[in-house]
Structure 1
Amino acid sequence: MESLKARIETLTQEIKSIVPANAEELEAYRIRFLGTKGLVRDVFGGMKDVPAEQKKEAGQLLNAFKQLAEAHYESFSHLQQGNAGNASFADFSLPGADIALGTRHPLRIVENKIVEIFERLGFAVAEGPEIEDDWHNFTSLNMPEDHTARDMQDTFYVAQNPDWLLRTHTSSVQARVLEEGKLPVRVICPGRVYRNETISARAHCFFHQCEGLYIDENVSFADLKQTLYAFVTEMFGPDIRVRFRPSYFPFTEPSAEMDISCTVCGGSGCSLCKHTGWVEILGCGMVHPDLLRNFNIDPEKYSGFAFGMGVERITQIRYQVNDLRLYSQNDVRFLRQFTTNT
């Protein structure tokens, strides 16, 4: 420790005695003291020889020494700028400084990819308001008044009697499309939705969905399966495997959850798939006949399927992002990792 103090004192006196006269001498000072192989870094290397009980004191001395060396350099920075105003040293034929370009948000990258795939399958894009009424968000979609989703613990209500709320799914956009009465219907509905949930690594009070709807004559569950299989092979590659599990949704019957083989472990088991080899990506099913009747569509003549997926979920699988909060924290260190041309 004493030898370190003595060396710092010696170098401090040397720094104070240096008075650069021009830019070349200032650069020589920078290289000698502040360069990657300079004396400041070399002195910091002596920290490893300091006893543990004295490391705090040594660290304070080293930091003060480094600040002194940097401040001395900055005090002569005008020497570097001395030629800046001399036009004879300006070469206007040189290219300009690069302009830093941003990139799209990872959620937007994935959402655009989802929409692009379904547009190639013949789906149009439909959008709707984020503040919805009860009819479009709940009642028309076969959710009765006592449905749990209507509880204020699950939904953000803006007003009541009549009820207005932040939409809980983009199915409300499907309702507005069906309300127009133009058949057949084949739409994909991307957008932000809101649910009253505690914010954590796995849940957030807002997130993004892409829901799809296809209504026409003679639409079958086979059409649903083939459409979704085409989507996942485009999104995750031709080697992906899928499975459908029976489920329940009030607006579809029959209903199913769709899983894909884990893209990380290939099905052998890992933390992403919870060692099952499968990852759930969306819910789907055949449109409930009562829902069709709500929009004056004859279920004896028309049938259809619907599906819905979370954009965050697909992004997690593609980029292995393990914390939902990262998407909304605006941390440029996180966002700069994603680049795309779309």
Structure 2
Amino acid sequence: MKDYTHEEIYTIVGKKDKTASITFKYNSDSSKRFGQFVTVVFLYTQKEREELDQLVKKSPFSKHGNLKVKYLAGNLSKKQIQELELEGINSSDISTIDYFVHDPKNTFHSKDKRTVKSLNIPIRTSSKGGDYDWIYGFQKKLVTDGIGLTPMGRCFYLAMKFYFEPDNLSEEEVQEIYPNGDLIMKEEVEWELFKIKYQREELSQEEKKKCALMFKKKQEESKIILNKYLNESGSSLKKLIANNIEQAAELLIKVEHFKDIKLNVMGSFPIYLDVERYLHVYMRHVEEMQVNKHFEHKDNFQWNEKDVTFVMQEVINQINDEVQEFFKLNPGKRYSRYGEQSIYFQGDYYTVHIEPTGRISTFHKNRKNS
């Protein structure tokens, strides 16, 4: 009975991420550890994939040894599944590999932009801020369940609780709302409170005046933040207005209306982009948001701007359990995945660095050699 090589496995199922039903040789080490059959997808680092792209051009195929796999179906224990992903199976233990002839679309070797198939469902909103009732109930459930909120999300929650249940604020929440121990509310919380009261048509004349001043201040802060990242691109807000006023206006609007982007769903540690990291990532790696060729040496996301957040969420949710455990055991340390530990998603490998607060520090698609 022949032994499968790494090159052969890569050619028939690995290169295009095909689902493979594997039968092990009788009495082989893999059959003893995992049973006679497993259904898997083969896992490769970017370096391994690029090396195999070169090896399959040579003959005869000769590479043997362990290959890591992701277990898809069956009754294996958590320990056995981890062994498959961390240690893998010996290619010489494989008796047969069955797979569908239909090719899944693996885009590792494609330079085209990818698209996300989405279904737009229209949502009716209630008049006079009526939706805040159920939004507060939902946010309250998240907090009760220990789900972490982003900094802006936390301020929004505190503003809603101050509005709906001021008598139920905990001592900790009161300290967050009034951080200086006086009756001056934290500006970010007050801004969210004003937005709620504006929607519900409850702002007093004094509050309207203060709200207008805060809005003007936020506009100026937005210009400063945007200008900072335009400077890093070798431009400035003044230059961009002169050369491309439409793009300048579009970027400024994005910054003025920006809300923290939460990338994970579950866990006490939120993983998110604030406006600064959003500009850092998008203005370097998203083609539609680049103002010149200053970052042309960097690899762009092969996704449209509107889909990049979805891609980041998918990548982060692959590692969310690992990130939660890391921050629990290593408070104050940065979490990183790069190089051979980069995260694979739909044909690309991604480098990710996350600050101890959960804020994204770095997120980009790795450069390919092929």
Normalising by structure 1, report the TM-score: 0.25
Bigger helix fraction: 2
Bigger strand fraction: 1
Radius of gyration: which is bigger? 1
